[in-house]
Amino acid sequence: MSHLPLSRRGFLRGTAGLAGVTALSSLPLAARAADKLTVGFIYVGAKDDYGYNQSHAEGAAALKSMPGVTVVEEEKVAETVDVTKTMESMINFDGATLLFPTSFGYFDPFILELAPKYKTVRFEHCGGLWTDKDPKNVGSYFGYIDMAVYLNGICAGHATKSKKIGFVAAKPIPQVLENINCFLLGARAVDPSITCQVIFTGEWSMPVKEAEATNALCDAGCDVITAHVDGPKVVMQTAAGRGAYICGYHANQSALAPDKYLTGAEWNWGKVYTDFLTKVMAGGTIDNFVRGGLAEGFVKMSPLGPAVSDAARKQFADTQAAILKGGFSVFKGPMKDNTGKEVIPAGKVYLETDVALESMNYLVEGVLGSTS
């Protein structure tokens, strides 16, 4: 064996190789404590829509003050080849290594097809259901906002005089159906005779239809109204204009009608994104499957409005405390859907974290409307 010293070049090559090994072993990309990181946010609508997209954009804005973090954003990116190319453009031109495509429809096929091509980039998708079979550099996160909507329902249940509350919904998909059900179940926790009328507009953003739907609900006698569309401003304004109470969604809409606004279910993406980035900048990775609710600070409630009665405040506070404590469930058997079919057998209890709830396809008994 020779004791000749390694040539300088050979030595360098050796250490470079070692560095490579360490980089690989410490897991994909952002695993190294980064001092600089470019994060890309992609929105399906205008980023100031007073609703869903704005809630994410505000979350992204919270990152801009973090040292070493550069945020790049693009709005109105369609769920077509548009989003594939936008993600690639952020990777190629901006050097983004962490992407937050925030619309549900970006997940399959666009993120799932692009991720294997850019293995060093992390794709964090909002709303998706990541499973073991999906690429490892993809993750999905979402908030259990249904419990916040349940609290909306409690305030609605106390406020309604006609015992009929209304819901303007975009499309009959699981996220929306779950919110509708929770809104009614919250109200029924106050008075089991309450019913909830739902009207689907079929579009995520279509102000005239949303206004028409709101008017139709008011005509049908609903006196508390909430919505699940991308920008609920029009629903809130129209409902308040017709004298109904309103519960907000996505963001705090109390400024639109302070005396009619009971409370609202809001996203809190600023906290979520800050937590994610703090972890990444410290050398950690974001888990592939992240969920959180009121307790984790993923969602929050708007401050209660002046129209919320003392009895309502008490039940609201008690329920909120129970939710924060954990183990609270609203989907427990026996439960029937509004066609009379049993959807949850007696004895079965779904906690808010149960993945089964994320494929909900029914409206519970007491909701007036149909899922197709």
Partner 1 sequence: MTDLGLWAVPVAILGGAIRVSTPFLFVSLGEVLTERAGRINLGLEGTLVFGAMAGYAVAYESGSAWAGVLAAALAGVIFGLLHGLICSLPKVNDIAIGIALMLLGTGLAFFFGTPYVQPVAPRLPAIDLGFWSGIPQVQAALTVNVLFLAGIALALGMAWMLRATRVGLILRVVGDSTDAARAMGLRPNAIRIGATAAGGAFAGVAGAYLSLFYPGAWSQGVSSGQGLMAVALVIFARWNPLNCVWAALLFGGAGALGPALQSVGLSEGYYLYYAAPYVLTLGVLIATSSPNRATAGAPGELSITK
Partner 2 sequence: MTDQAMARAQRRSGVDGLAPLARRAEGVVLPLGALAAGLALFGLLLLALGKSPVEFYALVYKAGFGTAFSWANTLSRAAPLLFAALCVALPARLGLVVIGGEGAIVLGGTATGALGVWLGGVPPALALPLMAAAGAAVGALWIGAVGALRHYRGVNETIASLLMAYIGIALMNHLIEGPLRDPASLNKPSTAPLPDALRVGDIPGMDVHWGLVVALVCCVLTWVLIERTTWGFAARIAGDNVRAAQVQGLPVGRLILGFTALGGAFAGLAGFFEVAAVQGSANASLAAGYGYTGILIAFLARQNPLAVIPVALLLAGFEASSGLVQRRMDLPDATILVLKAVVFVVILVSDTLYGRFRLFAPERWRRS
Contacting residues toward partner 1, per CB under 8 A: 45-46, 48-50, 76, 162, 197-202, 205-213, 215-221, 223, 231, 233-234, 237-238, 241-242, 255-256, 368-370, 372
Q: Is the separation of the CB atoms in 99 and 123 below 8 Å?
A: yes
Strand bridging mode 138-143 / 122-126 = parallel
* 163 forms part of the interface with partner 2 (CB under 8 A): no
If you write DSSP's letter for every residue of 196-220 in order, what string do you get? EEEEE-SSSS-HHHHHHHHHHHHHT
Distance CA 251, CA 52 (A): 8
With tokens 């909507």, the residue in question is 149
- CA 158, chain centre distance (Å): 26
Least Å from the CB of residue 20 to partner 2: 26
Distance CA 210, CA 216 (A): 10
Contacted by 221, from partner 2, partner 1, none: CB < 5 to 8 Å by type = partner 1
* 278 forms part of the interface with partner 2 (CB under 8 A): no
Contacted by 297, from partner 2, partner 1, none: CB < 5 to 8 Å by type = none
* 372 forms part of the interface with partner 2 (CB under 8 A): yes
Least Å from the CB of residue 225 to partner 1: 12
Distance CA 293, CA 310 (A): 25
* 105 forms part of the interface with partner 2 (CB under 8 A): yes
Residue 46, SS3 per DSSP: coil
When binding is defined by CB under 8 A, the residue of 2, 5, 8, 93 that contacts partner 2 is 93
Give whichever of 78 and 311 is closer to partner 2, judged by the CB atom. Answer: 78
Give whichever of 171 and 279 is closer to partner 2, judged by the CB atom. Answer: 171
Give whichever of 201 and 320 is closer to partner 1, judged by the CB atom. Answer: 201
Residue 167, SS3 per DSSP: strand
Distance CA 365, CA 372 (A): 16
Q: Is the separation of the CB atoms in 186 and 147 below 8 Å?
A: no
Give whichever of 309 and 370 is closer to partner 1, judged by the CB atom. Answer: 370
Binding residues for partner 2, rule: CB under 8 A, are: 46, 72-82, 84-86, 88-90, 92-94, 104-105, 108-109, 127, 129, 171-175, 202, 358-359, 361, 372
